């Protein structure tokens, strides 16, 4: 099983979710995060004093899928999230040792 | 000159003032968090710009000597001859008190429109539009109805601004929604209010201030003011109830946003009628307005325009209904300067009200569309997709409402 973690532009969230749903993904976890990479932050001004704010609002999606699905999921996410501008974000893929469904105790692919 | 009347009108002016920041909160809670400051700014900065423009020229254009029933002349330019003595025709209060009371109306009216173009208008374009709109749309409208213009001469009844304030802002809001187009992602992603407690606080301030708006429009501390105060309150109360009842049946749950929206819808509907109808017609008007405006808000989904905060559905529709209902329920027993309406055997009043509705919608809608086009060509009216995505707070003002 693979855990796919995506950090990308907030307004792309719905589009990515929609595309993933059409290829059969049934669940994911989303959080609002802030961070920076190559994309610059923005300036805020309060009573004439200027502050550089490095952290840009982003959205983080996490989903765990069967090994065989990972490549297609990644391709789908990349296609949906890409604008070509700096700030599109990143996809991290890691191997997951075990998944347990709390309600039933199922493990492995059955629990994904 | 009457001291009690003067005190009452000055206090009413202050009450009407508080409606504008209240409106800012009402709207500010309904937008997404990244636009909260931009939305508050849209209402509050108008207290600054419109007040100054009003003193310089707006008041004169609205209330100066009549030119052909269409607009005021330049008699009161720079508040010349507007002093501590009474104005001709309003002999119980200082001319200055009348002027500043009217100023507060001029401030809130363009602020009402801001709900339609929320979350996507460029600040410079917004300032230019509202400035031009004050002179080209508001001043003529105020003159027609209250300054001795053609609508007043025709006998149209508008006690506190159903046409001048609510229909005019509603019609202009429709022009705004159509000209600016939808917000980026509208229809695909959820546009959920970010802070409804702000909205409910704003609705409370609007309700409070509206007593100055409607009762104050009696321009005297007298029985008519008391009557308008009561009709205002009862219509708002009835509409708050009817809105949540209708949505309870329609969607299964009564909502706080519905309660606040219903109250505002009732206040809008009673505005033209406040000083012409009795308490029981006010309750009936409120009950109808709550349900009607609930339907009006759903209309934008059917007609596919993005009136972000429902100015057309509440102020446009509520104001139109209120103007018609004034023609139905008005009574000379309440106000001898008014008229008897349909239920007292005078169907003609409804026809007069109808003409004033068509004229107001047509004039305000067309002029606003032209103004949006002019402003768009001069400074641009809509922010870039990138700025819209960042939000108006950061892109237009370099601030954010909430630091985490």
For range B154-176, the mean pLDDT: 96
Is A46 an 8 Å CB contact of chain B? yes
Residue in the block written with tokens 């709900």: B115
Asked if A42 and B390 come within 8 Å (Cβ–Cβ), the reply is: yes
Q: Check B394 against A42: CB less than 8 A apart.
A: yes
Q: Is residue B98 part of a domain?
A: yes
Closest residue, chain B, to A9 (C-alpha): B389
A31 burial via Cβ count (<10 Å: 0-12, 13-18, 19+): exposed
Question: Chain A contacts of B389, Cβ < 8 Å?
Answer: 9-11
A8, A9, A11, A80, best to mutate vs chain B, most B CBs in 10 Å: A11
What's the 3-state SS for A24-52? CCCCCEEEEEEECCCCCCEEEEECCEEEE
Phi/psi of residue B186, each to 5°?
-65, 130
Q: How near does any CA of chain A get to the CA of B394, in Å?
A: 7
pLDDT in tens, A43-81: 888 888 888 888 888 999 999 999 999 999 999 999 999
The answer to whether residue B87 is domain-embedded is yes
- pLDDT at residue B404 greater than cutoff 70: no
Is there a contact between B399 and A34 if contact means CB atoms under 8 Å apart?
Answer: no
Q: Does B192 touch chain A (CB under 8 A)?
A: no
Mean per-residue pLDDT of chain B? 96
- Residues of chain B in contact with residue A14, where contact means CB-CB under 8 angstroms, are 185, 188-189
A81 contacts on B by Cβ (under 8 Å): none
Q: Which of B184, B389, B400 sits opposite A44 (nearest CB)?
A: B400
Residue B350 has pLDDT above 90, yes or no: yes
According to the model, what pLDDT value does residue B366 have?
98
Give me B329's structure tokens.
Answer: 């329920």
Distance, CA of A73 to CA of B364 (rounded, Å): 52
Closest CB from A9, A34, A45 relative to B398: A45
Q: How many CB atoms lie within 10 A of CB A56?
A: 18
User: pLDDT by residue (tens digit) across B281-312?
Assistant: 999 999 999 999 999 999 988 998 999 999 99
The CATH number covering residue B255 comes to 1.10.3430.10
Flag whether pLDDT at B261 surpasses 80.
yes
Of B231-235, B386-390, B393-397, least confident by mean pLDDT is: B386-390
* Mean pLDDT in residue range B15-33: 97
| C-alpha distances out from residue B51 to B44, B47, B139, B144, B200, Å | 11, 6, 13, 21, 27
- Is residue B404 assigned to a domain? no
Instruction: Fill in the DSSP letter of residue B84.
Output: S
pLDDT per position as a tens digit, B109-124: 999 999 999 999 999 9
Q: Is residue B403 part of a domain?
A: no
**B400 vs A45: CB contact, 8 Å cut-off?**
no
pLDDT digits (tens, 9 = 90+) for B182-240: 999 888 878 899 999 999 999 999 999 999 999 999 999 999 999 999 999 999 999 99
Which residue from B minimizes the CA distance to A13? B189
pLDDT exceeds 70 at position A83:
yes
Of how many residues is chain B composed? Answer: 404
- Domains of chain A in start order, with CATH, are 2-111 (3.30.70.120)
Kindly list the residues from chain B whose CB atom is less than 8 angstroms away from the CB atom of residue A12: none
Total domain count, chain B: 1
Q: Rounded distance, CA B264 to CA B286, Å?
A: 10
pLDDT at site B103: 98
In terms of CA atoms, which chain B residue is nearest residue A55?
A: B404
For residue A73, the tally of other CB atoms under 10 A from its CB is 22
- Domain range enclosing B323: 3-397
Residue in A closest to B385 by C-alpha: A11
Would residue B402 count as lying in a domain?
no
Write down the pLDDT at residue A44: 86
A-chain residues near B390 (CB < 8 A): 42
Q: A88 is written with which tokens?
A: 């599109």
**Is A34 within 8 Å of chain B by CB?**
yes
Residue B64, sorted as left (phi over 0), alpha (psi -120 to 50) or beta, turns out to be beta
Residue with tokens 């409070």: B208
Closest partner CB to B389 (pick from A11, A15, A44): A11
Kindly provide the ipTM of the predicted complex, given to two decimals.
Answer: 0.72
């Amino acid at each position: 099983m693979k855990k796919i973690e995506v950090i990308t532009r907030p307004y792309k969230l719905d589009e990515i979710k929609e595309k993933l749903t059409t290829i059969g993904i049934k669940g994911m976890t989303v959080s609002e995060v802030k961070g920076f990479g190559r994309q610059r932050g923005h300036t805020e001004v309060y009573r004439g004093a200027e502050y550089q704010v490095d952290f840009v609002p982003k959205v983080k999606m996490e989903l765990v899928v069967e090994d065989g699905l990972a490549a297609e999921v990644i391709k789908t996410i990349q296609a949906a999230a890409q604008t070509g501008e700096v700030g599109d974000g990143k996809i991290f893929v890691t191997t997951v040792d075990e998944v347990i469904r709390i309600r039933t105790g199922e493990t492995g692919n059955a629990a994904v | 000159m009457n001291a009690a009347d003067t005190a009452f009108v000055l206090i009413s002016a202050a009450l009407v003032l508080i409606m504008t920041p209240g409106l800012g909160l009402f709207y500010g809670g309904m937008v997404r968090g990244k636009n909260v400051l931009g939305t508050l700014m849209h209402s509050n900065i108008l207290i600054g710009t419109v007040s100054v423009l009003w003193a310089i020229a707006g008041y004169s254009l609205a209330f100066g000597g009549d030119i052909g029933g269409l607009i005021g002349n330049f008699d009161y330019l720079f508040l010349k001859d507007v002093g501590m003595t009474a104005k001709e025709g309003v002999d119980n209060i200082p001319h200055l008190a009348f002027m500043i009371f009217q100023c507060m109306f001029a401030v809130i009216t363009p602020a009402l429109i801001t709900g339609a173009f929320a979350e996507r208008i460029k600040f410079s374009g917004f300032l230019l539009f509202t400035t031009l709109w004050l002179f080209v749309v508001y001043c003529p409208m105020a003159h027609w109805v209250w300054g001795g213009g053609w609508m007043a001469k025709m006998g149209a009844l508008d006690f506190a601004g159903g046409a001048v304030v609510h229909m005019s802002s509603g019609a202009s809001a429709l022009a705004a929604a159509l000209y600016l187009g939808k917000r980026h992602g509208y229809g695909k992603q959820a546009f959920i209010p970010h802070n409804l407690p702000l909205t409910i606080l704003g609705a409370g301030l609007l309700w409070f201030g509206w007593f100055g708006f409607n009762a104050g429009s009696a321009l005297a501390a007298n029985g008519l003011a008391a009557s308008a105060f009561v009709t205002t309150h009862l219509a708002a109360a009835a509409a708050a109830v009817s809105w949540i009842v209708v949505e309870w049946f329609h969607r299964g749950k009564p909502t706080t946003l519905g309660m606040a929206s219903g109250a505002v819808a009732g206040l809008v509907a009673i505005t033209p009628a406040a000083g012409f109808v009795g308490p029981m017609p006010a309750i009936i008007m409120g009950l109808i307005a709550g349900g009607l405006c609930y339907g009006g808000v759903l209309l934008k989904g059917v007609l596919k325009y993005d009136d972000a905060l429902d100015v057309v559905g509440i102020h446009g529709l509520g104001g139109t209904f209120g103007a018609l209902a004034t023609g139905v329920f008005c009574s000379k027993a309440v106000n001898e300067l008014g008229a008897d309406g349909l239920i007292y055997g005078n169907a003609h009043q409804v026809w007069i009200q109808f003409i004033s509705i068509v004229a107001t919608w047509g004039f305000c809608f067309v002029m606003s569309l032209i103004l949006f086009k002019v402003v768009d060509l001069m400074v641009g009216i809509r922010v870039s997709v990138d700025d819209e995505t960042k939000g108006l707070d950061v892109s237009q003002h370099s601030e954010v409402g909430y630091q985490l």
